[in-house]
């Protein structure tokens, strides 16, 4: 696709984690198909996958040029940390807040190139986890263009109506509930005061005025952008009476189901017959309930969810598909039940069309792809975004949240039987959510609309 010179330039800035880049790469491809010239800033490890879309690739400067798919090798101390406060602090300090300066400088250098080329209609699309634009959005010296935030993970901003991120608690907008929410949020901010202080020090060093109030680092991912487009539907986010008008829900993109870039056709934009396993006809023709189990791209231990599910359902009259993704192999001494089919990869947007129940640890993309196709879920995961995502989807009525990372087989079996039971409300609710996704339309159209809205404002070049 040849870029349309009448279209504004789109500069995508993205945290270098696969789940983030996958979604922003799909957005880049969709905008390029619509005639927008796109430049994509992220880690150099993703160059090939980004350039395959037709986007111009710019690597992050060294301090931000991270390979977050190899953390077990590059940061083993983090990889082996248990879920909790210490792990959260390490992750945000090392991978999100620490790289802010180099991320900011990378973006400013690219904006300077645009300015030197007399291109004055530039829109930035920034992924949720990318804070490199925060200095400019908070008034630091530099080139300022409109910024659209893209919510590639659950909505993390605080609200008077909701508990803090990853608390796992339900929303409560009663007077007592709001007191609880405020108290818990204050506790979270006190617990992570050192992290917030480090974030503020970096921003001040880059020129943010001492009189400017800097939002909590989790809120900064959402509230600073001129627009924020949450890749979801309202019904799987907690309701907030204080939601800023700049935040819009736009639906969800397809997910690849774990296949890494560089594999042919990883976005699913053309036929994927060559990627389907040899037993795929069984999926098409299945008469027994089809149960899919998959762990996220960072979960390598099959004892988390794969093996408990296979043990739980071995004697049930169901067909089980296990996508192993980053699980290199099942243990040699494990006898795969006769009703199980395995593959390292099956595209979710094809597999979930035939699925009756999806069992996952709560990756945001996989959860939304299942619900987009009306598939009820069983969720088992903790930490990262999983605690928050799983609590929200269970609250929506379309899933059972097992609330643990290593569920017992009998707990998995009970949840499967509950969803398959006559009159199950989970299947009905999942179908209702699928209809809500369909009503939202194509999220790429809504992103393009936001780009066009902001190009008409007077926010072009500000600063230097």
Q: Which pLDDT score, from 0 to 100, does residue 269 have? A: 38
Give 264's pLDDT tier (boundaries 50, 70, 90): very low
Give 463's pLDDT tier (boundaries 50, 70, 90): low
Per residue in 82-100, pLDDT (tens digit) is 878 888 899 999 999 999 9
- Does the pLDDT of residue 257 top 90, yes or no? no
Beta bridge partners of 10: 38, 123
Give 267's pLDDT tier (boundaries 50, 70, 90): very low
> pTM of this prediction?
0.90
Q: Which pLDDT score, from 0 to 100, does residue 341 have? A: 95
Structural domains in the chain, sorted by start: 9-251+441-455 (3.40.50.2000), 273-439 (3.40.50.2000)
Tokens of 240: 């907030």
Q: Which pLDDT score, from 0 to 100, does residue 274 have? A: 55
Measured between its terminal Cα atoms, the distance across the chain in Å is 34
Q: Which pLDDT score, from 0 to 100, does residue 410 have? A: 96
Q: Which pLDDT score, from 0 to 100, does residue 263 have? A: 37
- Does the pLDDT of residue 424 top 60, yes or no? yes
Please state, rounded to an integer, the average pLDDT across all residues of the chain: 89
Per residue in 192-215, pLDDT (tens digit) is 999 999 999 999 999 999 999 999
Per residue in 346-359, pLDDT (tens digit) is 888 899 999 999 99
Give 260's pLDDT tier (boundaries 50, 70, 90): low
Say how far apart CA 184 and CA 150 lie, in whole Å: 27
Q: Which pLDDT score, from 0 to 100, does residue 459 have? A: 47
Give 271's pLDDT tier (boundaries 50, 70, 90): very low
Least confident of 43-47, 142-146, 301-305: 301-305
Q: Which pLDDT score, from 0 to 100, does residue 364 have? A: 85
Give 374's pLDDT tier (boundaries 50, 70, 90): very high
* Higher-pLDDT residue of 457, 154: 154
Give 218's pLDDT tier (boundaries 50, 70, 90): very high
Q: Which pLDDT score, from 0 to 100, does residue 353 have? A: 94
- Does the pLDDT of residue 275 top 90, yes or no? no
Q: Which pLDDT score, from 0 to 100, does residue 265 have? A: 33
Can you tell me the mean pLDDT for 47-54? 96
Give 388's pLDDT tier (boundaries 50, 70, 90): confident
Q: Which pLDDT score, from 0 to 100, does residue 327 have? A: 63
Per residue in 294-333, pLDDT (tens digit) is 986 666 788 889 999 999 999 999 999 999 866 667 888 8
């Amino acid at each position: 696709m040849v870029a349309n010179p009448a279209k504004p330039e789109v500069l995508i800035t993205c945290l270098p984690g696969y789940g983030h880049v996958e979604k922003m790469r799909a957005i880049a491809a969709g905008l390029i198909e619509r005639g927008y010239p796109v430049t994509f800033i992220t880690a150099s490890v993703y160059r090939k996958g980004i350039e395959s879309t037709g986007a111009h690739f710019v690597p992050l400067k060294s301090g931000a040029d991270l390979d977050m798919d190899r953390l077990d090798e590059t940061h083993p101390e983090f990889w082996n940390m248990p879920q909790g406060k210490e792990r959260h602090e390490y992750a945000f300090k090392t991978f999100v807040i620490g790289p802010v300066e180099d991320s900011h400088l990378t973006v400013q250098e690219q904006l300077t190139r645009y300015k030197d080329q007399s291109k004055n209609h530039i829109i930035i699309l920034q992924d949720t986890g990318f804070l490199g634009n925060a200095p400019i959005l908070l008034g630091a010296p530099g080139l300022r263009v409109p910024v659209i935030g893209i919510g590639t993970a659950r909505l993390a901003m605080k609200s008077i109506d909701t508990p803090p991120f990853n608390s796992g608690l339900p929303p409560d907008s009663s007077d007592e509930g709001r007191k609880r929410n405020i108290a818990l949020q204050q506790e979270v901010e006190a617990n992570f005061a050192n992290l917030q202080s480090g974030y503020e020090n970096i921003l001040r060093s880059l020129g943010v005025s001492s009189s400017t109030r800097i939002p909590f680092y989790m809120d900064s991912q959402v509230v600073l952008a001129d627009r924020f487009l949450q890749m979801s539907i309202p019904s799987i986010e907690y309701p907030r009476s204080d939601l800023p008008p700049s935040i819009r829900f736009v639906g969800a993109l397809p997910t690849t189901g774990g296949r890494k870039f560089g594999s042919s056709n990883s976005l699913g934009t053309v036929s994927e017959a060559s990627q389907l396993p040899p037993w795929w006809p069984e999926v098409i023709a299945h008469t027994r309930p089809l149960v899919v189990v998959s762990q996220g791209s960072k979960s390598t231990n099959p004892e988390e969810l794969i093996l408990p599910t296979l043990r739980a359902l071995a004697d049930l009259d169901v067909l089980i598909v296990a996508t192993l993704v980053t699980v290199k192999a099942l243990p040699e001494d494990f006898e795969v039940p006769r009703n199980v089919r395995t593959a390292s990869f099956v595209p979710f947007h094809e597999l979930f069309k035939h699925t009756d129940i999806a069992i996952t640890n709560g990756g945001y993309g996989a959860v939304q792809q299942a619900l987009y196709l009306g598939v009820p879920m069983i969720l088992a995961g903790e930490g990262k975004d999983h605690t928050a995502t799983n609590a929200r989807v269970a609250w929506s009525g379309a899933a059972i949240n097992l609330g643990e990372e290593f569920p017992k087989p009998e707990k998995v079996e009970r949840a499967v039987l509950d969803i398959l039971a006559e009159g199950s409300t989970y299947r009905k609710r999942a179908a209702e959510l699928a209809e809500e996704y369909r009503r939202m339309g194509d999220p790429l159209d809504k992103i393009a609309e936001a780009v066009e809205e902001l190009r008409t404002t007077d926010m072009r070049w500000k600063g230097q």
